């Protein structure tokens, strides 16, 4: 509950958290919905394409079935035994019997035939094969006659026509196929053979096609004739089925009228459930093939995927909420730090505390406005008071007792004229870097903060004044009078044993240093003066505090230094490092002995720590010059360049503020000097080797060039330079000379038209056979062969 209360009090954090959380929730939910919508649309489109293929295959199957029946009808129409039934005016009994037998044999040969009927227009008689046709007293014959001779609806020939032979509910049990000698619609003036095809044969074929193409149950296939009547394989057609078929017909007709296409897809409510209806026109038979599927069944996997998607989205929502909380607190951290700083300075409790109803930004804004108003309230009187304080620090003897009382009373200065006083100087460490890296506005802000924090912390226990001087330090004038104590309390406090004023002030100064370092990252060192009896000695105390503060060169940054700590330094008469230390340091550097150089440097700085401040700087500068001059002397006596920045030595006292930093800088410089040196013998040998190689490169064309002539040139013995060259390069001087000469001979052969003899002479050879032998040993061919190969290539 406590954590919830803290969260509840942070209104801006609530806004950040809710904004991030809602953004993540909206994005994740939108993504989940969009994914399911795209998935459903993709599944529907794939199913539509699959249905289109199924309908196309059904259309092809119907066409193929129509061709089978057409072939059978042509065969039947040309049968001689059936011709008597078709055309004879008087039919002998035996011909009648043979015709019926022939129709029976045809029925047995074609399993898809329901029955056969023959119309003889000369007799106006119909003959049929079914038992009902023969035994029902002429009802079937009458039904066939009524259908066949319907004047309002002429029947096309060689086409499957859905008919109802035995059903009275409108359901079809066969397809009629009229066969005549003409292709015109049937008329009573011509004979015809009527082949009745089983409806199951047509619809079962379509169902098998559907079963192969689709594994979903509950799919239905309908055939709509040109009048819009729907037919299926169902034997019984109830009123509910009729209503369902009417809904399917309306959906298809509406979509056809809207899109004007021969095939299409429509989704709608049929018999209370959502269905996908696919249709395709069969132009040959004027039929429309309709394929009805349950939309919910088709989308079963999509719904399952949607459920999983929302479950995964829910998991990610929980994770996003956790991430939102973490991210919100991460973004809120700078604001919370600022609030801590504001609350540190804000009044705690009391009647003056005002309730706050806004969020954190409003709180900071109000705090900023209060601070701005507070800054604006600094009047000319306050500016003048700062002027008098600075004047008091520079020359306090100008103020008489009466003048001082008047200034204190008029400007409200926190300085006691009766109690002892103390002056503290707070100086910014590494001020050059601070001044270089901080803008002017930021400097003013930091100065204002240091002055106010120092005054607030010190004023809790002592009457004091704080003023900024020259930008790099702040001065505190502390009175040995408790904050809020009146003049009447002085005698009572003086009679009580207590710590000295300096002992009371030092812990408070350390508290000021830590507070400023914590909030602003600024390190301050402090110099504390001796206690003075009255205000006329403030200038002297200020100068003393400045001098004492300089001794942070010994005690380091963040030090609080009192005069007692530097008494030995002030009374030390020694002002220079003994010459023997400087001499040993120089000798160690020349010899490259880093351990000895470091030891001498450590002795010097141990001694330096007891000097006065000015003597310290002078002695460190002298040490730096000793190191620089030694390095310069080493560099002058070396052949190889000495890569050390010697000017850096003279800048150490300017860039470093403490003896420790100066010691490390000089020690590092000495290490680089020692590491940069190499043995003198190695330098001499390198110089001789480079000289020999340079002589060979310059005089390779001289026939008289030899190891002896080179030794005479460098003023050394032939044996010495020969051994030194062999040890260093793994080849003799003569071998090196031949390498250089042959290299130049190779270049001349490739680029110039000189003869081989001329090239030999230009490369310092006088004996052709010796030159040819050396060249072939180097390149594997004679000079002429080499030139020929290069010219060809």
Distance separating alpha carbons of residues 143 and 433, to the nearest angstrom: 117
Q: Is the pLDDT of residue 349 over 50?
A: no
Distance separating alpha carbons of residues 528 and 516, to the nearest angstrom: 18
pLDDT tens digit string along 211-241? Answer: 555 555 567 787 887 777 777 766 556 667 7
Indicate the SS3 state at residue 162: strand
Q: Tell me 397's DSSP state.
A: G
Q: Is the pLDDT of residue 375 over 70?
A: no
Beta bridge partners of 178: 194
Tokens (6 digits) for 436:
């270089």
What lies within 8 Å, CB to CB, of 483 at 6+ separation is 459, 460, 461, 462, 463
R_g of the chain, CA atoms, integer Å = 59
According to the model, what pLDDT value does residue 493 have? 46
Q: Tell me 531's DSSP state.
A: P
Mean pLDDT of the 728-756 span: 90
How many Cβ atoms from other residues are within 10 Å of residue 120's Cβ?
A: 18
Q: What angle do CA 388, 394, 398 make, to 5 degrees?
A: 70
How would you classify the pairing of strands 273-282 and 473-479?
unpaired
pTM score: 0.44
According to the model, what pLDDT value does residue 57 have? 79
What lies within 8 Å, CB to CB, of 375 at 6+ separation is none
Q: Is the pLDDT of residue 107 over 80?
A: yes
Distance separating alpha carbons of residues 467 and 415, to the nearest angstrom: 13
Distance separating alpha carbons of residues 329 and 12, to the nearest angstrom: 11
Distance separating alpha carbons of residues 508 and 514, to the nearest angstrom: 10
Q: Is the pLDDT of residue 626 over 70?
A: yes
- CATH code 3.60.10.10 for 378-486+496-570: no
Q: Is the pLDDT of residue 511 over 90?
A: yes
Mean pLDDT of the 568-580 span: 89
According to the model, what pLDDT value does residue 525 have? 94
Long-range pairs, 728-734, Cβ under 8 A, ≥24:
728/685, 728/689, 729/689, 732/707, 733/692, 733/696, 733/707, 734/706, 734/707
Mean pLDDT of the 252-272 span: 81
According to the model, what pLDDT value does residue 495 have? 45
According to the model, what pLDDT value does residue 633 have? 83
Q: Tell me 529's DSSP state.
A: P
Distances (CA, A) of 233 to 172, 215, 220, 690: 8, 19, 9, 110
Cα dihedral across residues 740, 743, 745, 751: positive or negative: negative
Confidence band, pLDDT 50/70/90 cuts, at residue 284: low
Quickly count helices (H) and strands (E) in the chain: 32, 15
Strands of 287-294's sheet, edge to edge? 230-231, 220-224, 287-294, 273-282, 263-270
Distances (CA, A) of 712 to 689, 691, 705: 15, 13, 11
Distances (CA, A) of 347 to 354, 371, 451, 486: 10, 13, 19, 25
Tokens (6 digits) for 519:
């909030």
What lies within 8 Å, CB to CB, of 165 at 6+ separation is 114, 115, 140, 143, 144, 173, 174, 196
In words, the CATH class of domain 681-792 is: mainly alpha
Mean pLDDT of the 160-170 span: 73
What lies within 8 Å, CB to CB, of 32 at 6+ separation is 309, 310, 313
Better-scored residue on pLDDT, 305 or 748: 748
Mean pLDDT of the 538-544 span: 91
Distance separating alpha carbons of residues 184 and 159, to the nearest angstrom: 12
Q: Is the pLDDT of residue 1 over 70?
A: no
What lies within 8 Å, CB to CB, of 491 at 6+ separation is none
According to the model, what pLDDT value does residue 13 have? 67
pLDDT tens digit string along 143-157? Answer: 888 888 887 778 888
The fold for domain 79-201 equals Beta-Lactamase (3.30.450)
Q: Are 33 and 295 in contact (CB under 8 A)?
A: no
Closest CA to 607 of 619, 597, 595: 619
Mean pLDDT of the 388-407 span: 82
Cα dihedral across residues 210, 211, 212, 216: positive or negative: positive
66-91 CB burial, b ≥16 within 10 A, e <16:
beebeebbeebbebeebebbbeeeeb
Cα dihedral across residues 56, 57, 59, 63: positive or negative: positive
Distance separating alpha carbons of residues 451 and 473, to the nearest angstrom: 10
Give one DSSP letter per residue of 271-290, joined into a string.
Answer: TTEEEEEEEEEETTTTEEEE
Q: What angle do CA 57, 210, 274 make, to 5 degrees?
A: 115
Q: Is the pLDDT of residue 400 over 50?
A: yes
Of the ranges 163-167, 189-193, 221-225, 537-541, the best mean pLDDT one? 537-541
According to the model, what pLDDT value does residue 498 have? 59
Mean pLDDT of the 195-224 span: 70
Distance separating alpha carbons of residues 528 and 622, to the nearest angstrom: 30
Mean pLDDT of the 4-32 span: 71
pLDDT tens digit string along 474-506? Answer: 999 999 877 655 544 444 444 445 578 889 999
Tokens (6 digits) for 26:
């909206």
Task: Match 């002056």 to its residue by tokens.
Answer: 423
Which H helix or E strand runs over 424? strand 421-428
pLDDT tens digit string along 641-689? Answer: 666 667 777 788 888 889 898 888 888 888 888 876 655 455 567 778 8
According to the model, what pLDDT value does residue 191 have? 86
How would you classify the pairing of strands 192-198 and 421-428?
unpaired
């Amino acid at each position: 509950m406590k954590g919830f209360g803290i969260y509840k009090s942070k209104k801006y954090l609530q806004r950040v958290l809710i904004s991030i959380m809602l953004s993540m929730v909206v994005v994740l939910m939108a993504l989940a919905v969009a994914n399911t919508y795209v998935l459903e649309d993709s599944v529907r489109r794939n199913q539509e394409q699959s249905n289109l293929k199924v309908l196309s295959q059904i259309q092809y199957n119907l066409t193929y079935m129509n061709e089978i029946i057409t072939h059978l009808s042509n065969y039947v129409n040309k049968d001689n035994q059936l011709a008597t039934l078709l055309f004879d005016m008087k039919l002998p009994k035996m011909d009648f019997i043979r015709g019926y037998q022939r129709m029976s044999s045809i029925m047995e040969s074609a399993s898809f035939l329901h029955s056969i009927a023959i119309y003889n227009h000369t007799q106006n008689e119909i003959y049929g094969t079914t038992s009902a046709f023969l035994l029902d007293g002429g009802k079937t014959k009458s039904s066939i006659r009524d259908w066949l001779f319907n004047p309002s609806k002429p029947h096309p020939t060689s086409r499957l026509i859905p008919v109802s032979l035995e059903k009275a509910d409108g359901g079809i049990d066969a397809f009629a196929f009229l066969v005549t000698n003409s292709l015109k619609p049937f008329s009573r003036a011509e004979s015809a053979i009527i082949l009745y095809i089983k409806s199951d044969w047509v619809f079962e074929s379509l169902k098998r096609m559907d079963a192969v193409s689709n594994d979903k149950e509950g799919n239905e296939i309908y055939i709509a004739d040109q009048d819009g009547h729907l037919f299926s394989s169902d034997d019984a057609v109830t009123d509910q089925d009729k209503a369902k078929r009417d809904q399917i017909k309306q959906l298809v007709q509406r979509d056809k009228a809207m899109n004007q296409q021969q095939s299409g897809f429509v989704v709608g409510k049929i018999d209370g459930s959502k269905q996908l209806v696919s249709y395709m026109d069969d132009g040959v038979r004027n039929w429309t093939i309709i394929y009805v599927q349950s939309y919910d069944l088709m989308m079963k996997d999509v719904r399952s995927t949607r459920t999983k998607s929302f479950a995964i989205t829910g998991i990610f929502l929980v994770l996003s909420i956790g991430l939102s909380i973490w991210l919100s607190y991460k973004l809120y951290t700078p604001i919370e730090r600022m609030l801590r700083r504001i609350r540190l300075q804000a009044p705690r409790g009391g009647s003056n505390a005002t309730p706050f109803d806004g969020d954190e930004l409003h709180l900071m804004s109000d705090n900023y406005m209060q601070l701005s108003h507070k800054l604006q309230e600094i009047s000319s009187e306050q500016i003048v008071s700062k002027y008098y304080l600075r004047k008091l620090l520079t020359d306090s003897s100008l103020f008489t007792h009466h003048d001082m009382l008047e200034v204190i009373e008029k400007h409200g200065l926190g300085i006691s004229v009766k109690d002892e006083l103390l002056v503290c100087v707070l100086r910014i460490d590494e001020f050059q870097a601070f001044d270089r890296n901080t803008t002017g506005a930021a400097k003013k802000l930091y100065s204002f903060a240091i002055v106010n924090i120092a005054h607030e912390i010190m004023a809790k226990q002592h009457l004091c004044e704080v003023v900024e001087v020259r930008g790099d330090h702040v001065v505190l004038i502390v009175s040995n009078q408790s904050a809020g104590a009146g003049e009447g309390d002085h005698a009572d406090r003086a009679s009580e044993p207590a710590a000295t004023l300096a002992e009371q002030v030092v812990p408070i100064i350390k508290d000021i240093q830590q507070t400023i370092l914590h909030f602003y990252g600024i390190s301050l060192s402090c110099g504390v003066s001796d206690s003075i009896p009255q205000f006329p000695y403030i200038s002297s105390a200020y100068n003393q505090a400045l001098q004492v503060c300089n001794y942070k060169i010994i005690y380091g940054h963040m030090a609080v230094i009192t005069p007692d700590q530097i008494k030995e330094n002030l009374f030390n008469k020694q002002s220079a490092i003994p010459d023997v230390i400087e001499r040993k340091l120089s000798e160690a550097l020349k010899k490259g002995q880093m351990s000895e150089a470091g030891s001498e440097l450590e002795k010097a700085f141990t001694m330096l720590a007891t000097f006065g401040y000015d003597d310290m700087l002078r002695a460190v500068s002298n040490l730096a010059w000793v190191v620089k001059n030694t390095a310069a002397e080493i560099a002058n006596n070396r052949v190889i360049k000495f890569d050390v920045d010697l000017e850096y030595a003279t800048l150490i006292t300017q860039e470093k503020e403490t003896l420790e930093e100066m010691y490390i800088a000089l020690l590092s410089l000495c290490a680089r000097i020692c590491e940069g040196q190499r043995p003198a013998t190695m330098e001499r040998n390198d110089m001789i080797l480079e000289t020999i190689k340079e002589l060979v490169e310059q005089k390779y064309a001289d026939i008289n060039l030899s190891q002896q002539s080179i030794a005479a040139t460098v003023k050394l013995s032939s044996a010495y330079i020969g051994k030194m060259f062999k040890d260093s390069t793994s080849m003799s001087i003569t071998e090196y000379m031949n390498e250089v000469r042959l290299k130049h001979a190779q270049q001349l052969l490739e680029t110039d038209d000189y003869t081989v003899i001329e090239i030999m002479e230009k490369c310092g050879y006088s004996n052709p056979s010796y030159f040819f032998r050396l060249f072939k040993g180097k390149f594997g061919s004679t000079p002429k062969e080499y030139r020929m190969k290069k010219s060809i290539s």
